[in-house]
């Protein structure tokens, strides 16, 4: 089991691709040897839509990733609701984005992960700065994986606690 985890970590570190579109850099994961060339080198990723990705629009940046921990940040500015507070949907998007990356890292190269349930408890408001999400696995199985994602403000105060459950499936054959 340890050997398999180490192999997955090595795979992830080698297969990180950074994309630059407009004025933003986006980090995407993929195995270049197992994806069709017409996909831009990344399995199933629509490179022509990078500016339309919700994570791009919200300014989410993944700063740390491995199968046991995924960390990302998001600015409060631009992601607020009518009262000037961080929108709960933005916190949920940060949580699901980090949890989905964690699920993909744990699923392995021949599997994909899809979210099946997300729950969020919003503890306090954030009004300025960056929030940071930290995702850790609670359960990793062949079919189902569950992650806890804690979103905190710059003072380390918990803003939101989320739980994401993903279903792991065999990777579909390449289209085309």
> Which residues are catalytic, by number?
96
- Which of 105, 123, 119 has the alpha carbon at shortest distance from 163? 119
Cβ atoms of 168 and 144 closer than 8 Å: yes
Strands lying side by side in the sheet with 69-75: 61-66, 69-75, 130-140, 144-152, 158-170, 111-122
Chain-centroid distance of CA 49 in Å reads: 17
Torsion of CA 106, 108, 109, 111, to 10 degrees: -100
SS3 157: coil
d(CA 44, CA 42): 6
- The CA distance from 56 to 25, in Å, is 9
């Amino acid at each position: 089991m340890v050997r398999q985890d180490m192999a997955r970590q090595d795979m992830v570190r080698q297969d990180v691709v950074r994309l630059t579109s407009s004025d933003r850099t986006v980090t995407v994961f993929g195995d270049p040897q197992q994806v069709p060339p017409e996909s831009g080198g990344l399995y199933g990723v629509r490179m022509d839509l990078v500016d339309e990705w919700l994570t791009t629009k919200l300014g989410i940046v993944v700063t740390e990733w491995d199968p046991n921990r995924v960390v990302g940040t998001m600015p409060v500015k631009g992601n607020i609701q009518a009262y000037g507070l961080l929108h709960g949907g933005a916190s949920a998007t940060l949580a699901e984005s980090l949890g989905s990356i964690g699920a993909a890292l744990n699923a392995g190269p021949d599997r994909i992960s899809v979210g099946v349930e997300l729950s969020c408890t919003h503890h306090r408001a954030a009004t300025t700065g960056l929030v940071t999400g930290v995702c850790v696995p609670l359960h990793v199985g062949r079919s189902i994986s569950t992650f806890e994602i804690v979103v905190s403000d710059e003072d380390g105060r918990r803003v939101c606690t989320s739980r994401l459950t993903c279903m792991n499936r065999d990777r579909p054959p390449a289209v085309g």
